[in-house]
Every structure is written in C-alpha cells, then in structure tokens.
C-alpha cells in the first residue's frame, strides 16, 4: 500500500538540496524583467562566489578563444555573450542539484547529470522550433529530475529497497508514494518559488504532446526527453515512456525530417555545452 508524501517529508528532502537554486530563481526573474541590465545579472552571479569564479574560469578557457583575459563577470558577459553566460550559469547551478547518485532509482551521478544536460540542450532546440521561452525550457530540462531526487531522499529515509528493474517506473512510484516524480518535481519547484510555467513544464513531462498542446513548455520537455534517449542520454528506468508514432509526429509538425533535424541540432548543442562544462 502506498504511503502519500507528507509536506514535512518533502520539506526535509528539499532542505538537503544546495541553496544555489535561489540564485537561479532570482536570475530567471531578472531575465524576465525588460528593464534589467547586464549589471543586474552580474550582481546576482557574484552572489555565489564559487559560481562566479567558475564562470570566469570557463570564460577564460581556450574553448572561447578570447584574446584578452577577462577579470569580471561583466566582462565575461560582454565577451562571451549573454545567452551563453545564462546557459552556463544555470547549468553550473543545476549541476549541484542533479549531479548526484539516485540509488533507489539505480541511477549514477554521471548518468543523472548527462541526462539532465541532454534534456536541457534538446529542450532549447525544441523551444526554438515552437517559439517558446528557451530559458524556461532549458531550465526545466536541467531540473526536471528534482522529483526523483526528492523521492530518492524520502525512500532512503523510509528505508525502502531500490526499485526492481523489472517494475515500470511509474507503477513503482505510485505503489510506494501514490504519485509520480513529475508531480513531485512541480511541488519542489513551487517550494523554491519558481514561476508556475516552469513548475507546469516539469509536471507535464510524461504527457504525450498533441496538436493543441505542443506549443506548451511541458510538451517541449517531453520531446526533449525523447530526443535525449536518441542521443543517447536517456534514463534506463524511463524506457517506454517517451514514444511517438509517425502519425503523432506529423500531427505536431515533426513529420518528414523535422524530428531528425531536431535530434541533430540537439546533439550538437549537447556536445558543445558538455565540452564547455568539462573545461577548467
């Protein structure tokens, strides 16, 4: 019989996560403010000393080939570009949350991180295809497994054994907790005071996109998860969840070479961001 997750259990699981998410949340708010300036973004980045230092180290790496060494976050933004810096900062911040073992799910830290990065990169490409907010979808891709992170912590506290590999993931989660990880991820996002569209995006990650819904962030994260499996950087526990027939692809405008084009551009961005984050 499942034992529903209490608010106290969820709060304790969230308390175990790094506080860097507060920087990401505030950064997202500044990004959405049309009156914000580079100095506002740089100020938030400097609020996390380690994050700012790593940003500068990567900005000065051979990956960018800068002729002059940059010494401030403002200079890094000017030389590398705002979009690249935002992608870098959110990736570095999220890495502290999702680069961890999930023994109850039989997921290693390295696989966890590579999967999150692949879904984020693919999400950005899907967002471009459907004119969605790329920053929201990228961040949803990075943090979509926080539901698993929370459930893993709760399962360990309850002394539950790891999920049997033969039992479908959603069945196991419903049996143990009465809920699936995307809904828990949305609850965590709300505890963190992230925007509702971000919470909604991770909540709808298992929902098959249709013509009427494909223009929503949740559908983009579903498609990004499907693409991540093809890279391949999917999670073995989720095999079978992200499937679309040829007819369904045509319905959402990805017939012909549409899906193949997204897979290629996603793989290219995933490889570039992964190389960037492995520097220094």
| pLDDT tens track for 98-138 | 889 999 999 999 999 999 999 999 999 999 999 998 988 99
| pLDDT, greater one: 152 or 52 | 152
- pLDDT tens across 247-279, in order? 999 999 998 899 999 999 999 999 988 887 775
pLDDT for 102 equals 96
**What's the mean pLDDT in 33-46?**
78
Kindly tell me the burial class for residue 71, based on how many C-beta atoms sit within 10 Å of its own C-beta (0-12, 13-18, 19 or more). Answer: exposed
159: left (phi over 0), alpha (psi -120 to 50) or beta: left
Q: What per-residue confidence (pLDDT) applies to 92?
A: 80
For residues 6-20, one letter each, b for 16 or more C-beta atoms within 10 angstroms of the residue's C-beta and e for the rest, the string is eeebbeebbeebeeb
Indicate the pLDDT class of residue 151, thresholds 50, 70 and 90. Answer: very high
Q: Average pLDDT, whole number, for the chain?
A: 88
Nearest Cα to 89, choosing from 121, 54, 132? 54
CATH T-level topology, domain 7-17+97-277: Hypothetical protein af1432 (1.10.3210)
How does pLDDT run across 181-219, given as a tens digit for each residue?
999 999 999 988 888 999 999 999 999 999 999 999 999
> Phi and psi for 102 in degrees, rounded to 5?
-125, 80
Q: Which residues of 269-279 are buried (b: 16+ CB within 10 A; e: fewer)?
A: bbeebbebbee
Q: Residue 207: how many CB atoms within 10 A of its CB?
A: 14
Closest by CA to 158, choosing from 59, 12, 30, is 12
The answer to whether 208 and 250 are in contact (CB under 8 A) is no
pLDDT class for 19, splitting at 50, 70, 90?
A: low
Give the model's pLDDT for residue 280: 41
Contact 263, 230 (CB under 8 A): yes
Report yes or no: 204 and 219 within 8 Å, Cβ to Cβ. Answer: yes
Residue-wise DSSP of 115-133: HHHHHHHHHHHHHHHTT--
Domain residue ranges of the chain, discontinuous segments joined by +: 7-17+97-277
Q: Please report the DSSP string for 204-269 in residue order.
A: TTTSPP-TTTTTSHHHHHHHHHHHHHHTT---GGGTTTS---HHHHHHTT-TTTHHHHHHHHHHHH
The span from the CA of 107 to the CA of 250, in Å, is 33
Furthest C-alpha separation in the chain:
63
Give the closest residue to 21 by CA, choosing from 39, 50, 48: 48
Q: What's the Cα-to-Cα distance from 91 to each of 166, 169, 175, rounded to whole Å? A: 32, 26, 33
Plot region of 163 (φ>0 → left; ψ -120 to 50 → alpha; else → beta): beta
Question: Could you tell me the pTM of the whole model?
Answer: 0.90
The torsion angles phi and psi of 107, rounded to 5 degrees, stand at: -120, 125
Angle between helices 73-80 and 82-98 (to 10 degrees): 120
- Euclidean distance between CA atoms 26 and 18, whole angstroms: 15
Q: What pLDDT score does 140 carry? A: 94
């Amino acid at each position: 019989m499942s034992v529903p997750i209490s608010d106290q259990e969820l709060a304790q699981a969230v308390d175990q996560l790094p506080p860097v998410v507060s920087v990401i949340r505030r950064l997202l708010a500044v990004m959405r403010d049309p009156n914000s300036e580079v100095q506002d973004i740089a100020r938030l980045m400097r609020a996390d000393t380690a994050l700012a230092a790593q940003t500068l180290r990567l900005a000065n790496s051979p990956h960018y080939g800068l002729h002059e060494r940059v010494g401030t976050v403002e200079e890094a933004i000017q030389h590398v570009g705002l979009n690249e810096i935002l992608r870098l900062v959110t990736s570095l911040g999220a890495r502290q949350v999702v680069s961890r073992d999930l023994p109850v799910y039989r997921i290693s830290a390295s696989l966890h991180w590579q999967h999150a990065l692949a879904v984020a990169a693919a999400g950005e490409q899907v967002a471009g295809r459907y004119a969605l907010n790329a920053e929201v979808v990228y961040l949803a891709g990075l943090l979509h497994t926080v539901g698993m992170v929370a459930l893993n912590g709760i399962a360990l506290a309850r002394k539950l054994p790891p999920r049997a590999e033969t039992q479908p993931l959603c069945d196991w989660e419903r049996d143990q907790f009465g809920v699936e990880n995307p809904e828990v991820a949305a609850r965590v996002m709300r505890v963190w005071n992230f925007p509702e569209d971000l919470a909604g995006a991770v909540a709808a990650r298992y929902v098959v996109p249709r013509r009427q819904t494909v223009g929503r962030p949740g559908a983009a994260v579903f498609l990004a998860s499907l693409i991540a499996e093809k890279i391949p950087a999917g999670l073995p526990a989720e095999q079978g969840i992200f499937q679309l027939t040829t007819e369904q692809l045509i319905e959402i405008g990805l017939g012909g070479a549409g899906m193949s084009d997204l897979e290629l551009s996603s793989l290219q961005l995933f490889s570039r961001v992964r190389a960037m984050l492995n520097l220094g």
